[in-house]
Amino acid sequence: PKSTHLTDYTSPAWRVPKVSLCFELEPEETRVTAMLCVEHVDGHPQRDLVLFGEELVLESLSQNGEPLDSQYYELTKDGLVIRDLDESCELEIVTRIHPKRNTALSGLYISEGHFCTQCEAEGFRRITYFPDRPDVLSVYDVRIEADEKRYPVLLSNGNPVAQGELDNGRHFAHWHDPFPKPSYLFALVAGDLACHSDQFVTASGRTVDLRLYVQAHNLDQCSFAMQALKKSMRWDEQAFGREYDLDIFMIVAVDDFNMGAMENKGLNIFNSKCVLASPQTATDDDFIMIESIIAHEYFHNWSGNRVTCRDWFQLSLKEGLTVFRDQEFTADQTLPGVKRIQDVQRLRNLQFPEDAGPMSHPVRPQSYLEINNFYTMTIYEKGAEVVRMLQTLLGASLFRRGLDLYFDRHDGQAVTTDDFVKALEDASGRDLSLFRRWYDQAGTPVLEIQEGFDDSASEYHLSLRQHCPSTPGQDVKMPLHIPVSVALFAASGEKIPCGADAAIETTLELTEQQQTFVFKDVHEPPVLSLLRGFSAPVIVRDQHRPETLAFLMQHEDDAFSRWEAGQRFALNILLAWVADCQNDRQLLLDPRFSQAFAALLKDAQSHPALVAETMTLPSESYLGDQLSTIDVEAVHMARCTLMQQLGQQCFSTMVEIYEKTQGIAGFDALALGQRRLHNLCLTYLCASGESEAQDRALQHYHHAPDMTHTMGALRALIAQPGEVIHQCLGDFEQRWKDQPLVLDKWFSLQAMAPWPDSLERVQDLMRHPGFSLRNPNRVRAVLGSFTMANPLGFHAIDGQAYAFMAELILELDAINPQIAARLAGCFSRWRRFDAVRQNGQQQALQRILAQPSVSRDLYEIASRSLG
């Protein structure tokens, strides 16, 4: 397979200002008649019209109503090349496609009897021959014809124009989208769907119809998503001055979907998992996730749709920016500090390892084989961090001015990340040329610090040094422009002025490999608070002593930094314990940590959410990342033992907190935090091993008023196999076996359970009548959870899980390459393990690559992982 390079980009030779599509829908075979107005770009050296196409049957082709003679076109393996067209003409292309056979879920396919589409990144070429690239923008007219009984609802982008009856029980609908858009934003839905509707009045007073389409039996799970949509629409007006632009905004929920959701213009299509929710079926975390995805897709209407990407190398232009926007939205709805902590955790647990492994790539990659493999943590989460740093450097108001200029200047265009940075430069007057390196340089920078205090001069000196480990294809790294927010604490816990105008917090700008910053008028050796709010996506190397960490846990006023002090403290202990496990030493808890932990619990009443985050120990995968060789058993043992000891030592306090946070209702930040704490205390109580705790958990399960509590009990119990958890799991299955989205929680929990015989259990789950390899949610629930969240099971030393997964991934590849490729990411960290596990994973990757029919998606992941 051939890779695509950023440096090979050339602008399109042909424009397609207008497209009319007519779909004659039938599951087995659908006819698509496409009418393209094409115009050659004056002076463009390329004269041939190159159209992409995949899995299409060409029925006919004509220019201005005249059939094209076969000497003027050529069918290639990637599509269709047409020669000697008039400079400007109308091209009619009739193709046939096979929605029912489309198990890849890209292009037009069927989910639960409904037609739906997924065109990003390159699915439109599976619908018709087209210049399927994001820099070709067209106005779409879409006519859909289908059987009226089976498909009463017919939807596409834009505004509805007409609908009516046809012969033979068929009907049609006609949609027009006045905003020029790239083909990846095209969407069509047809089916027997129920509708939950509402309205929204925009800031300028236009009324927009809002519609949420779901299967009739899910109509009672729509109201939360609708509220979230309205909140998002209002928030984007208030926070960013962005108003909605069509007369109607639709969301459709489908059960079979490769990812979370898709921002098609005016017609967002969602994985039903990311829409449907009621307190009975969804946890607090589900609700928060749903709200943020609704917001994310809605925000794309400006950051992605009105202003889109020139090519797929610019993907983070829309994704990084939109993640940043949805993070800001959620922060505004809840507690900003807690939201920041969660985002940092996500980045560290998922993006840092990606950037430290064989799949590492810059926020703007240089090349790819299959673009669908590049919807990564780096593009999304690191991309959002890059935007956040820009905001930090410019300050909120200049940043906002820059964004306004960006949207204004590029409305209706397909642009690059450079255009984005340029708009920020022009609006702020700042030079961001050095900053641009963040887009091109892969890897997580490491900051090293050195402190000095000059008593006689009353000066505190802080030296910062940056370096970035080399990444595949990038050996030489340049210094980056890194905003480092700092504050200084006096021993009293008061902050010492350290910035201009005696500010108590300041942002240092590190632009060289090493710089020393001098703080004057500092009269005692201060305690440094570094990288407040996690002001840059970097790793800080320092040797914080336990006393300093305990001090910061107590006095920090920046939520992230306070949490961070607790995490570091726990991390130091856990890492020492991993070594102790490996050397058969006893695991003895540093009393300073128990004290700090106990002190933390005192704040449970006032800051439940923050305390809950701080009580949550670093994940096993993050711990593994800190070791030179990942030792899954020792890591698991160390972490479980710390939970056990903390549970034992703080048992009565936790019981107290648990009881005080019982029966909390409501969805405000306080209630969310209290419920989180409630469940977490139960987990610690169970971890203590006291039998009383198990009884409590069983009661908790049986009296759970909602799914948040139900899952709280199951999660607390899952750490230990036994009678109680099996009883609860059996009950859960009976209760929810007909609700696939809820049953996924049951699948996932068991696939993650760190019990012996994990592989057999996973194989059993796959034989469950509710499981199917064809449904991405089921695959993620069972196999995604097993490979990503059950290190003990997946990395079992006998290597059986590796071999099993290799075969399964190949089986899946024949059904759905995107899902197979995602899953294959489980082998990408193989070099980080011991020799036996390295060998097992290498063999799995080689087995995958030995398959002659392997897809491009899977080939790219497996071959890059193997290195």
Q: Which positions are annotated as active-site residues?
A: 297
259 contact choice in ligand B3K, Zn ion, none (CB below 5 to 8 Å, kind-dependent): ligand B3K
| CB nearer ligand B3K, residue 49 or residue 233 | 233
Measured between alpha carbons, how far is 773 from 782 in angstroms, rounded to an integer?
10
For 536, the token pair is: 């840059």
Q: Which of 16, 21, 56, 121 binds ligand B3K (CB under 6 A)?
A: 121
CB of 121 to ligand B3K, least distance (A): 5
Measured between alpha carbons, how far is 241 from 261 in angstroms, rounded to an integer?
24
Q: Which of 97, 259, 464, 862 binds ligand B3K (CB under 6 A)?
A: 259
Q: Which of 16, 92, 107, 120 binds ligand B3K (CB under 6 A)?
A: 120
- In order of 319, 428, 491, the CA distances from 401 in angstroms are 20, 8, 40
Dihedral sign from CA coordinates of 593, 598, 602, 604:
positive
CB of 857 to ligand B3K, least distance (A): 10
Do 726 and 715 form a contact (C-beta atoms < 8 A)? no
Stretch that binds Zn ion, among 311-319, 439-447, 590-598, 693-701 (CB under 5 A): 311-319
Q: To which residue do tokens 């030489």 refer?
A: 476
Measured between alpha carbons, how far is 210 from 247 in angstroms, rounded to an integer?
9
Q: To which residue do tokens 């069927």 refer?
A: 110
- Alpha carbon 359 to its chain centroid, in Å, reads 16
Restricted to residues 314-333, the positions that interact with Zn ion (CB under 5 A) are 319, 322
Kindly write out the interface string for residues 305-334 of this chain, putting x where it contacts ligand B3K by CB under 6 A and - elsewhere.
--------------x---------------
Identify residue 420 by its one-letter amino acid code: F
| CB nearer Zn ion, residue 322 or residue 330 | 322
CB of 21 to ligand B3K, least distance (A): 21
- Alpha carbon 379 to its chain centroid, in Å, reads 9
Pairing between β-strand 446-454 and β-strand 539-541 as defined by DSSP bridges: parallel
Stretch that binds ligand B3K, among 235-243, 261-269, 409-417, 741-749 (CB under 6 A): 261-269
| CB nearer Zn ion, residue 260 or residue 497 | 260
Measured between alpha carbons, how far is 827 from 242 in angstroms, rounded to an integer?
42
Stretch that binds ligand B3K, among 13-21, 80-88, 257-265, 526-534 (CB under 6 A): 257-265
Query: DSSP characters for 399-432?
Result: HHHHHHHHHHHHTT-EE-HHHHHHHHHHHH----
Quick check: 297 binds ligand B3K (CB under 6 A)? yes
CB of 300 to Zn ion, least distance (A): 6
Restricted to residues 344-373, the positions that interact with ligand B3K (CB under 6 A) are 372
CB of 196 to ligand B3K, least distance (A): 22
Measured between alpha carbons, how far is 229 from 300 in angstroms, rounded to an integer?
13
Residue 7, SS3 per DSSP: helix
For 178, the token pair is: 């006045």
DSSP label at 348? I
How many residues form the binding site for ligand B3K (CB under 6 A)? 12
Candidates 535, 572, 532, 537; CA nearest to 552 is: 532
Do 211 and 197 form a contact (C-beta atoms < 8 A)? yes
Stretch that binds ligand B3K, among 292-300, 459-467, 522-530, 607-615 (CB under 6 A): 292-300
| CB nearer ligand B3K, residue 255 or residue 263 | 263
Q: Which of 52, 375, 406, 439 binds ligand B3K (CB under 6 A)?
A: 375
Do 706 and 279 form a contact (C-beta atoms < 8 A)? yes
CB of 212 to Zn ion, least distance (A): 19
Stretch that binds ligand B3K, among 205-213, 260-268, 330-338, 705-713 (CB under 6 A): 260-268
713 contact choice in Zn ion, ligand B3K, none (CB below 5 to 8 Å, kind-dependent): none
Stretch that binds Zn ion, among 215-223, 313-321, 720-728, 800-808 (CB under 5 A): 313-321
| CB nearer ligand B3K, residue 153 or residue 261 | 261
Kindly write out the interface string for residues 508-547 of this chain, putting x where it contacts Zn ion by CB under 5 A and - elsewhere.
----------------------------------------
Measured between alpha carbons, how far is 80 from 57 in angstroms, rounded to an integer?
11
Neighbours of 815 (CB within 10 A): 15
Query: SS3 letters for 253-291?
Result: EECCCCCCEECCCCEEEEEHHHCCCCCCCCCHHHHHHHH
- Alpha carbon 851 to its chain centroid, in Å, reads 30
- In order of 202, 384, 401, the CA distances from 397 in angstroms are 23, 18, 6
Measured between alpha carbons, how far is 383 from 701 in angstroms, rounded to an integer?
40
120 contact choice in ligand B3K, Zn ion, none (CB below 5 to 8 Å, kind-dependent): ligand B3K
| CB nearer Zn ion, residue 321 or residue 680 | 321
| CB nearer ligand B3K, residue 120 or residue 620 | 120
Q: Which of 132, 263, 326, 556 binds ligand B3K (CB under 6 A)?
A: 263
CB of 296 to Zn ion, least distance (A): 6
| CB nearer ligand B3K, residue 281 or residue 775 | 775
Measured between alpha carbons, how far is 621 from 625 in angstroms, rounded to an integer?
6
Do 268 and 210 form a contact (C-beta atoms < 8 A)? no
CB of 293 to ligand B3K, least distance (A): 8
| CB nearer ligand B3K, residue 121 or residue 253 | 121
CB of 495 to ligand B3K, least distance (A): 39
Identify residue 643 by its one-letter amino acid code: M
657 contact choice in Zn ion, ligand B3K, none (CB below 5 to 8 Å, kind-dependent): none
| CB nearer Zn ion, residue 272 or residue 322 | 322
For 661, the token pair is: 């946070």
CB of 259 to Zn ion, least distance (A): 9
Radius of gyration of the chain (CA): 28
CB of 185 to ligand B3K, least distance (A): 9
State the virtual CA torsion across 316, 317, 322, 325 in degrees, nearest 10. Answer: 120
Residues 6+ apart with CB under 8 A from 339: 327, 330, 331
| CB nearer Zn ion, residue 322 or residue 614 | 322
376 contact choice in Zn ion, ligand B3K, none (CB below 5 to 8 Å, kind-dependent): none
Interface with Zn ion (CB under 5 A):
319, 322
> Where do contacts with ligand B3K occur on this chain (CB under 6 A)?
120-121, 259, 261-263, 296-297, 300, 319, 372, 375
